[in-house]
Structure 1
Amino acid sequence: MRRAFVLGVGMTEFSKPGRPDPNYPELAHRAADAALHDAGIGYPQVEQACVGFVHADSTAGQRAVYELGMTGIPVMNVNNNCASGSSALLYARQLVQGGLADCVLALGFEKMQRGSLGTPNHPHAANPIEKFLEALSGLHEPFGAPVVLEMFRAAGTEHMQRFGTTPEQFAKVAEKNHRHSAGNPYAQFRDVHTLDEILASTEVCPPLTKLQCSPTSDGAAAAIVVSEDVVDRLGAADRAVEIVAQTLATDTAEAYDSAVNIVGTPISRRAARQVYEQAGVGPEDLDVIELHDCFSINEILTYEALGLCPEGEGGALVDSGDTTYGGRWVVNPSGGLISKGHPLGATGLAQCAELSWQLRGEAGPRQVDGARLALAHNVGIGSAGIVTLYRMAQS
């Protein structure tokens, strides 16, 4: 099978939703144009486009790339909930590795409404997460929060009951990620907050406070995925980032067994194991990680799913300082979803951009010293879990 490389990345600043402009075509244009410029190629060299989004109509991907030029290329629209951006990247990689294209644009964007995410507004269609909600109602007394928040609240409560995890440990995740985002010019929030400030912020759904929850956001991100032939032809091996391994996992029947499983922990664990096996590495080999901290609870669950620590010890791991600068790994140097923002279709590709900059030594004040092996984790409830491993081509 051929190798696939990220040759260029780009993204917009993530921002608070609610403004009419810029609309998603302009956001997508800015991110894709930046990725093309970073790759040193023009849009006519792109042979296919894979476009991820959630809150837009069916052919929004075409509308987005038409801003770059109407070249007649195939455009694939991808909706995999919060993993839509990584899904677009996965399809782009498969096209290149399968020999169907040498240069593919992976693009993700979102133009969102303010407030918590609710259930889909399609009265005559089944809710895609209804089975998860039915299982959750039999496991935990509902709090009355918006549906996604309710799911993660239950998972956090369950983890606390089983393993003694504390609200302070969840809050330490948010303290770390807000601190990291101070060096990220693309982040929606760049203010640093103390642990006490995070614990004292508005309680939205115990044990979560407002500063532990990712915001709704507007934004876009993009990557140019190419074959080894393109890298060689352009003499770009010193800038190309290889997609070493990548897996998309969906649920098995165990998804309904617990609140922790309902929010996708088993699929994250399975995807991570498959990626490690494909690449012949383990979590101890990683240097920098971007993971899906939609809520601080999920970062601790994901430490365990990725094998950074045994089950039940995610709280102790964040206490140890091993997930920030000076520790064993740097997790979410971008600020993560909590602080960078979470425009659903763009999130996975924003992770790709951050890790590409980290591996190329171009991350500025948030640079992880000696970053050589990077991992991204992106999950969408319902469910899709994608884990991607990156390294420099010259490695």
Structure 2
Amino acid sequence: MSKNTVVAGVGMIPFTKPGASPSYTDMGACAVRAALQDAGLDYALVQQAYVGYVYGDSTCGQTALYEVGLTGIPIVNVNNNCSTGSTALYLARAAVESGQADCVLALGFEQMQAGALKSHWDDRPRTRARFVHVMHDLTEDVAELPQALRTFGGAGREHMQKYGTRMETFAAIRAKASRHAANNPLAIFRNVVTTEDVMNDKVMWPGVMTRLMACPPTCGAAAAIVCTEAFARKHGLRSDVRILAQAMTTDPATSFEPPSLIAYAGFYMAQAAAQKVYEQAGVGPQDIRVAELHDCFAQNEALTYEALGLCGIGEAEKFVNDGDNTYGGKTVTNPSGGLLSKGHPLGATGLAQCYELTHQLRGSAERRQVEGVQLALQHNLGLGGACVVTLYGKH
């Protein structure tokens, strides 16, 4: 990359349960206004916008942003499953770095329904239709379970079988998430649970998963203002947080052949994106003190430690047991509480991760603050598939 993009402002609203949130128009507009206020910027100076959501009609981005202002700017609607928010950020950053625009808004929101994720289209091929047999074949013993649970639970079971990982390790990850979320006023679940609490919760898959190991459907919105350094300087904006490197990957052939649920759940997408980011920035995973990663299930957080190189392959359990995923360890993962405790409104998640890491680098994360942060890593995964890994740095 020829130059770094400045993160001039971020905004986020508290995440809520389905049915308890305002409309997506209100949530989206509120997050944008918060980001503009944080940046100290007038909306009239924003030149482009990329707006992400999964469950919505066409041009919902315009519907939300028209509540903020009618400035006639290009508004691009983005849908990349659970990586939608970071895809909007990826496009915004690319617009700035390519010279298309000097100041761009990335917004993500989701107004979700209760229950497991599902398609709303029954008259056409489903996402990953050509490859879904991999998941079905490897989890035919639990065919009654929802697809996402089979995918990530099955990946966790495969890790258990390969490396001797215990179910208690996934429970410990969920307990850690709750301790972090207790310090986040924007998280949906702020009650602290223990490893034992997680293990004793309702069983979703015997020997593999309890209910607390899965993130809840959530409503919310988050936004970021990104710009060039020259724009920030001209308008008196802060420029202390930069995007140093960013990569998006989609499924390689190894996601599906040979059949493996670890691969099917996005391991190789994440690994390839992380390697590209490290190479772009000239750093390694050992340099990362804080990370927000895609813990849609506790099992996926364990897999992602390894995909991002935070620990060796098969060493996730040791990483957890040694306390290297929390304060005082090597890399504080999900200081926000992550998807498991903060919530996962699909379109907003990637920008909520940006919000958290921006505050970590500014030193304004209050009780969640990780000491001495110079670099922060973001991982946002959507099956179908797309993975975005972003490295932020303190200037």
TM-score grouping bracket, smaller chain normalisation = over 0.9
What's the RMSD between the two structures over aligned residues?
1.0
Distance 2:240 2:224 in 1: 11
Q: Which residue of 2 aligns with 1:135?
A: 134
* AA of the residue aligned to 1:202: K
Partner secondary structure for residue 123 of structure 2: coil
* Offset from partner CA, 1:293-343 (integer Å, 9 cap, x none): 000000000000000111111111111101100111110000000000000
Distance 1:363 1:318 in 2: 23
Q: Which residue of 2 aligns with 1:362?
A: 364
Aligned length: 390
Q: Which residue of 2 aligns with 1:150?
A: 150
The answer as to 2:278 corresponding to 1:276 is yes
Deviation of 1:208 (Å): 1.3
Q: Which residue of 1 aligns with 2:263?
A: 261
The answer as to 2:257 corresponding to 1:251 is no
Distance 1:356 1:296 in 2: 24
**Equivalent pairs: percent with the same residue?**
51
Q: Which residue of 1 aligns with 2:335?
A: 333
Q: Which residue of 2 aligns with 1:60?
A: 60
Distance 1:158 1:259 in 2: 7
Partner secondary structure for residue 178 of structure 1: helix
Deviation of 1:136 (Å): 1.8
* Offset from partner CA, 1:218-266 (integer Å, 9 cap, x none): 10000001011112213445x5310000000001111113110111010
1:246–1:389 CA contact under 8 A, matched in 2: yes
The answer as to 2:120 corresponding to 1:121 is yes
1:2–1:98 CA contact under 8 A, matched in 2: no
Deviation of 1:187 (Å): 0.1
Q: Which residue of 2 aligns with 1:386?
A: 388
Q: Flag structure 1 segments of 5+ consecutive residues without an equivalent.
A: none
The answer as to 2:10 corresponding to 1:9 is yes
Distance 2:23 2:204 in 1: 29
* Offset from partner CA, 1:7-60 (integer Å, 9 cap, x none): 0000000011123x5100000011110000011101100000000000001110
The answer as to 2:187 corresponding to 1:187 is yes
Partner secondary structure for residue 50 of structure 2: strand
1:180–1:332 CA contact under 8 A, matched in 2: yes
Q: Which residue of 2 aligns with 1:233?
A: 234
Q: Which residue of 2 aligns with 1:310?
A: 312
Distance 1:170 1:131 in 2: 30
* AA of the residue aligned to 1:123: D
Partner secondary structure for residue 114 of structure 2: coil
Deviation of 1:132 (Å): 3.3
* AA of the residue aligned to 1:33: R
1:165–1:315 CA contact under 8 A, matched in 2: yes
Partner secondary structure for residue 157 of structure 1: helix
Which of residues 301, 320, 323 in structure 1 aligns to 2:322? 320
Distance 1:283 1:309 in 2: 9
Q: Which residue of 1 aligns with 2:84?
A: 84
* AA of the residue aligned to 1:216: P
Q: Which residue of 1 aligns with 2:72?
A: 72
1:174–1:198 CA contact under 8 A, matched in 2: yes
Q: Which residue of 1 aligns with 2:224?
A: 223
Which of residues 274, 296, 299 in structure 1 aligns to 2:298? 296
The answer as to 2:109 corresponding to 1:109 is yes
Partner secondary structure for residue 226 of structure 2: strand
Q: Flag structure 2 segments of 5+ consecutive residues without an equivalent.
A: none
* Offset from partner CA, 1:155-198 (integer Å, 9 cap, x none): 11111111100000011100100110000000000000011111
Partner secondary structure for residue 138 of structure 1: helix
Q: Which residue of 1 aligns with 2:94?
A: 94
2:310–2:331 CA contact under 8 A, matched in 1: no
Please give the residue correspondences for 1:41-56 in structure 2 after superposition, counting only pairs within 5 Å: 41-56=41-56
Distance 1:284 1:250 in 2: 25
The answer as to 2:287 corresponding to 1:285 is yes
* AA of the residue aligned to 1:12: I
Distance 2:138 2:149 in 1: 16
Deviation of 1:287 (Å): 1.1
The alignment's TM-score, normalised by the length of structure 2, stands at 0.97
Distance 2:135 2:366 in 1: 43
* AA of the residue aligned to 1:127: R
Deviation of 1:131 (Å): 2.8
Partner secondary structure for residue 300 of structure 1: helix
Partner secondary structure for residue 373 of structure 2: coil
